[in-house]
């Protein structure tokens, strides 16, 4: 185990991932799913993994974009961005499908920096949906979007498939 020390001057990057890095994503997705098992009834399979069924699509579907988050060159999380809303079905909206920063790198502004970089990389209309039960994530996204936009962006509440979501909608000019 490597001990981590983070400074404000370290480089924070969300680098586009290659197909060879898919096993790294599979490992990180287990940590992500473990965090989410607090909010969702996620079940382990017989191998002791949660799994992520759609992961291979991020290397075959041209509307999906996987990135690995690095801080000072060290692996710190991942992002999965896709074109198309999971909630409304609108095909012209960028969706923050999954976003994960390892716990040791949280509450340091790293997630907000990564999100801002992604929004600049993919200009246009955006939708960021957050499980309403995940109060810290609702707070994080509200602050990250406000920091990026320069003003607060109101969220709306949506019920879908038995879950309650806070949805932030905004547009980024290119």
What pLDDT score was predicted for residue 87? 81
Q: Which residues of the chain have a pLDDT value below 50?
A: 1, 3, 5
* 75-101: pLDDT as tens digits: 999 999 999 988 878 899 999 999 999
What pLDDT score was predicted for residue 134? 85
Domains of the chain: residue spans and CATH:
12-172 (3.40.630.30)
What pLDDT score was predicted for residue 86? 84
The answer to whether 162 touches 112, Cβ cutoff 8 Å, is: no
What pLDDT score was predicted for residue 27? 92
Q: Of the candidates 62, 40, 63, which has an alpha carbon nearest to the alpha carbon of residue 52?
A: 40
What pLDDT score was predicted for residue 154? 92
What pLDDT score was predicted for residue 3? 46
What pTM did the predictor assign?
0.87
């Amino acid at each position: 185990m490597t001990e981590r020390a983070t400074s404000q001057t370290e480089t924070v990057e969300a680098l586009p991932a290659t197909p060879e890095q898919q096993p790294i994503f599979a490992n990180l997705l287990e940590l992500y799913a473990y965090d989410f098992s607090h909010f969702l009834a996620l079940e382990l399979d017989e191998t002791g993994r949660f799994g992520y069924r759609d992961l291979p699509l991020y290397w075959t579907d041209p509307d999906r974009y996987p990135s690995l988050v690095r801080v000072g060159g060290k692996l710190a999380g991942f992002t999965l961005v896709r074109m198309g809303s999971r909630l409304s079905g609108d095909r012209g909206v960028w969706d923050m499908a999954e976003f994960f920063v390892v716990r040791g790198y949280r509450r340091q502004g790293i997630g907000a920096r990564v999100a801002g970089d992604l929004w600049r990389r993919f200009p246009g209309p955006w939708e960021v949906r957050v499980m309403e039960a995940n109060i810290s994530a609702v707070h994080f996204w509200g602050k990250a979007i406000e920091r990026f936009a320069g003003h607060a962006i109101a969220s709306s509440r949506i019920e879908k498939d038995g879950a309650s979501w806070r949805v932030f909608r905004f547009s980024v000019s290119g």
